[in-house]
Structure 1
Amino acid sequence: MSGSVRVRVLSADEVKASIEALVDILIDCVEGGAAISFMLPISRHKAIEFWERAANHVACGERVLLIAEDLDGRVVGTVQLITAFPENQPQRADVSKMLVRRDARRQGVAASLLAAVEDVAREAEKSVLVLDTATGSDAERLYERAGWQRVGEIPDCGYTPDGKLCGTTFFHKRLSPGEVQTGFTP
C-alpha cells in the first residue's frame, strides 16, 4: 500500500473535518490492543474529545498532524509531531500517536507516515526527534529499521487497553538538515 497511500499535513480545520475518520482509527487501534493512553472500553465521546484537543494544538502551532489516505481517500493512518517545547529545546520535537488501522497494517502505511513526519520535522528545522512505544510492539521493529536509536525501556510504565502492565521503550533520531528524504511536500 505504501505506493498507493497519500500522506498529507492537515490544518486545524481539516482535522476538525476529519474527526469521524480519526475517531474510527483511534477506536480501532485501542480495540486492537494498542497501548496509546486509552483504556477499554473507549467511547466515541472520549475519542472525539481527544481529536478536538489535537485540532486546538494544531491551530496554536504546537503540533503538526499528518494522515495517510488510501486510493479511495479513506484515512488509514495518522501521526503527530509535537513541536511545543521550552526555548532551550528549539531543535527538538516528539513523534506521537502513530496509528494505523488494523486492516491497513503491514502495507507500508506506518513507514510512509514515519518518513513524512521526519520530513516535516526537517522542514521545521528540528534535528532531534524523540518517541516512545510499547515494549515488544511491532512499532519497535519499524523504528529500528528506519534508523531510530533505542534509548532504553521503563518496565511497567503503563497499561495496555485491557489493563495489563506493559513497558515503554524510548527512541531518538538525529535528523540531518537539508533536503527531505521522501519527496514529501508539506
Structure 2
Amino acid sequence: MTVIDRLGGDEVLARCEELADLLTDTVHNGASIGFLAPLDRAAAVAWWKARADAVHAGGLAVWAAWAGDRVTGTVSLAFADKANGRHRAELVKLMVHPEARGKGLARRLLATAERAAAEAGITLLHLDTETGSPAESLYRSAGWTRVGSIPDFAATPAGVLHPTTIFYKRVAPLSR
C-alpha cells in the first residue's frame, strides 16, 4: 500500500538519500524536471538538502509517497514570496518512480497538493510541463487549464530543447 505524507524540513534532510534516488531514477528515465542526465547522485542529494531550508522557511511544501520504506513519488508546492501573490502557488517536481507509473500515483499526489493548497487558503495554482509529455495529459484530465506554450523553454535530460506548456487551476479555499 502506498502512503503519502507531508515532509517537514528535518524529514527532507533525513530522507534526502532516498529522495535523491527517486530524482536520479526519474531523470535517467527521461523526465524533464529541470536536470540533465546523467544526474550525479551527490548533486541530487545536495539539491534535496537545499530544499529542506525552503521547507523550514515555509516557502515550500513537500509530499512523498511511500511503498513500504521506498520513496515512489513526490510533489511540492512553492508558495509565492511576494505580498501580491500570497493567493497562489506553483506545483513543482511531481515525480513518480518509473516502476510505480501507470497506477494512479501521480493523480493521487496531484490531488494531495491541490487539497493542501485549498486548506492553506491558496486559490490559484500554476505549473509548467514539457509539451507532449504524459504529464500534460494528466493535468488536462485533472481539470487544469492550458494557457499556452513557450518554444525551446527547457532542455530534456538529454539536452534537447523542447517547448513547455503552462497550466493553471483555480482551487477553492476550504472553510476552516
Q: 2:77 aligns with which of 71, 81, 91?
A: 81
Q: Distance in 2 between matches of 1:179 and 1:9?
A: 21
TM-score (norm 1): 0.91
1:113 corresponds to which residue?
109
Displacement, 1:179? 6.1
Within-5 A mapping of 1:142-157 = 142-157=138-153
2:47 corresponds to which residue?
50
Asked whether the equivalents of residues 85 and 92 of structure 1 are also in contact (C-alpha less than 8 Å), the reply is: no
1:127 corresponds to which residue?
123
Work out whether 1:60 is the aligned partner of 2:57.
Answer: yes
TM-score (norm 2): 0.96
Work out whether 1:30 is the aligned partner of 2:27.
Answer: yes
Structure with more of its chain in strand, by fraction: 2
Structure 2 SS opposite 1:126: coil
Q: 1:16 aligns with which of 10, 13, 16?
A: 13
Q: Distance in 2 between matches of 1:15 and 1:115?
A: 21
Structure 1 unpaired stretches of 5+: 181-186
1:69 corresponds to which residue?
66
Q: Distance in 2 between matches of 1:158 and 1:61?
A: 27
Q: Distance in 1 between matches of 2:77 and 2:54?
A: 11
Identical-residue share of aligned pairs (%): 43
Q: Distance in 2 between matches of 1:179 and 1:132?
A: 29
Q: Which amino acid aligns with 2:34?
A: S
Q: Distance in 2 between matches of 1:64 and 1:84?
A: 12
Work out whether 1:103 is the aligned partner of 2:99.
Answer: yes
Q: Which amino acid aligns with 1:112?
A: R
Structure 1 SS opposite 2:143: coil
Structure 2 SS opposite 1:58: helix
C-alpha distance after superposition, 1:46-80 (max 9, x if no partner): 1011101111100111110001112x232100011
Displacement, 1:171? 0.3
- Matched positions, count: 176
Q: Which amino acid aligns with 1:43?
A: D
